[in-house]
Copies of this chain bind each other. A is one copy, B any other.
Amino acid sequence: MEKVELRCDWPTGCGAPRRKRRRRGKRKRRGMTEQRQLLTLLLWWRKNVEQEGEEAIVATSRAKQRGRDSPTWKVWKWQTCFHSHDPAELPDMNDPLIDHSEGQLFLNEAFKIIIEEVLCKGTDVKQKVCEWKEPEDLALLLDLELRAAGEPQQRLLQRVKDVAKYSIKTSHPRFFNQLFAGVDYHALAGRFLSEALNTNLYTYEVAPVFVLLETEVLRSLRQLVGWTEGDGIFCPGGSTSNMFAMNLARYRLFPEVKSQGLWAVPRLTIFTSAESHYSVKKGAAYLGIGTDNIIVVKVDEGGRIIPEDLEEKIELTQSQGAVPLLVSCTSGTTVRGAFDPLDRIADVCEKHTTSGCIGPERDRFKSVDKLLLSLLKVNYMLHVFCCVFQAAWGGSVLFSEQHRHLMKGVARANSVAWNPHKLLMAGLQCSALLLQDTTNLLKKCHSANATYLFQQDKCYDVNLDVGDKTVQCGRKDDCLKLWLMWKAVGSIGLAERVDKAFNLVAPVIKERMIKQGTMMVGYQPLGDKVNFFRMIVLSTLVSKEDMDFFLDEIERLGNDL
């Protein structure tokens, strides 16, 4: 008969206080004793795992402490226990009332699977990035259907394993598909902690730590932009950040739009390049502005906005009776990775700003024909979306002394949307909207002043109740992960990540290529992109195989970079 040892691998500290409490004569229903934990485990094992000819041995932590590591408690002891109970009293793993000890046992097992399947195998270059299955086959494999009855723990753990197995390993060194590759373990620990704490970032009352962390992280990010003051908020993704910027620009110019809607204001236009992120389009549609009111500005050969064309378009729009609302620039466009020339664009914006028109002059708009608007210049916002390119740079270049020049002039923007979940690897989602504004625009624009949540007679400064700065009600904490990662590697560490991504790859591959003599190819900066391999195909001897070899070789040489 094969002996199987069952143990409760409970973290220390969980069992101890409970035992103490019991000694003091208090017996709680919640908080199982170790004995009960082991019993549950044993029953579960017997129900789901046990093979014929196996015998279970359970070992308590006390037995271990006393050095009795050899199995002394045999299964028959528990069997006695088992038979002396009314089956109805025995713990049922599917009982809808939460049993914390059983739950934590499951979580512990699931964590081991996550470490092994997602983080060990998932980052191992010898393993596959994805285990491709046709949708129909995958649906069968996963047994998707949700049924009336619950399932045993063992099968649920197998499900955890299956989900991990058939999911894409985005932390795999060969995942180049999107901009959220890689894993940072400090950030991941922060994410697990946020999930376990399960709170909403709306009041200091329910999220004291997160409110303070968010304030600090936003302050530090603003500092990198070059602002000593300002505001900001973490949003569920960069698209939302961009939409918030649009809404803020609209409210800043026409506060009445909040109550009266767009019918009360003249037609508004948004300026951006054709290479900007598609969320500008989505935002214009969603906010009721309409995609036709996005004015597409021409780009140069490097994919950057041409300021002169922007100026022309602004003037043209005004002559048509529309009001320029926002210039949306991109630092690191989605496909080509271009950085719009922020300084020169800011010049254009400033030239077309008449501060006086916001106050009394704007009131005149209502009484006169909309066409008269063309005679007036209005104050509008400059928004920078630090989107990211394939090589994943974008806003994060601000960390790097060497590369921050790419975003020269960013401090002149009114708002910046920045996704640390990309290059910085903070994990999905982590997207900050930063504002230069100090007039509480964010709250004024988005607030609904729900009295059940944002009472004004609290025992602390109600400005810490940041929830009304967003159009969401519940909002997840997206800053702890960034804060913890930043604490772990420091600004220097984050800057190094940026610099390495920019500088290291091409020269090192080139050096190895030369030393191993397998092939030769040049690389060079191209426009605002730091380095590109420049492959010259002149020889008539070049075959398809050579092309394949070229690609394979670059990959081989740069494999560990």
Contacts and interface: CB of A to CB of B under 8 A. Distances in A.
A168 to B, nearest CB: 5
Interface residues of A, number: 165
Interface stretch (A38-46, A146-154, A295-303, A348-356): A146-154
A492 B29 contact: no
B107 A115 contact: yes
A263 B260 contact: no
B264 A210 contact: no
Contact of A135 (B148, B212, B264): B212
B14 A148 contact: no
Interface in A273-304: 277-279, 281-293
A291 B447 CA distance: 12
Contact of A159 (B14, B160, B291, B487): B487
Given A94-B488, A103-B184, A199-B167, A290 B150 contact: no
Interface stretch (A339-347, A493-501, A549-557): A493-501
Nearest to A177: B206
A292 B556 CA distance: 62
A511 interface: no
Interface string A88-113: 00000011111010111011101110
A395 to B, nearest CB: 15
A292 B261 CA distance: 8
| Chain A to chain B: the 8 pairs with minimum beta-carbon distance, closest first | A288-B288, A103-B185, A261-B290, A110-B189, A236-B236, A150-B490, A144-B216, A278-B448
B168 A206 contact: yes
Say how many copies of this protein the assembly contains: 2
Contacts of A151: 487-488, 490
A199 B146 contact: no
Interface in A232-255: 236-240, 243, 247, 250
Contacts of A277: 473
Contacts of A191: 195
A186 interface: yes
Given A96-B500, A107-B119, 9 more contacts: A13-B120, A100-B185, A138-B209, A138-B212, A150-B489, A198-B428, A237-B473, A258-B291, A287-B288
Given A30-B560, A180-B200, A291-B259, A195 B483 contact: no
A429 interface: yes
Contacts of A146: 216-217, 220, 483, 486-487, 490-491
B212 A200 contact: no
Interface in A185-221: 185-186, 188-193, 195-200, 204-210, 212-213, 216-217, 220
B11 A116 contact: yes
Interface in A47-106: 69, 94-98, 100, 102-104, 106
A261 B267 contact: yes
Given A120-B13, A168-B206, A200 B484 contact: no
19 contacts: A17-B120, A96-B497, A98-B425, A103-B185, A135-B212, A146-B220, A146-B487, A146-B490, A147-B491, A149-B490, A160-B484, A163-B209, A166-B209, A168-B197, A171-B198, A177-B206, A259-B290, A262-B290, A288-B288
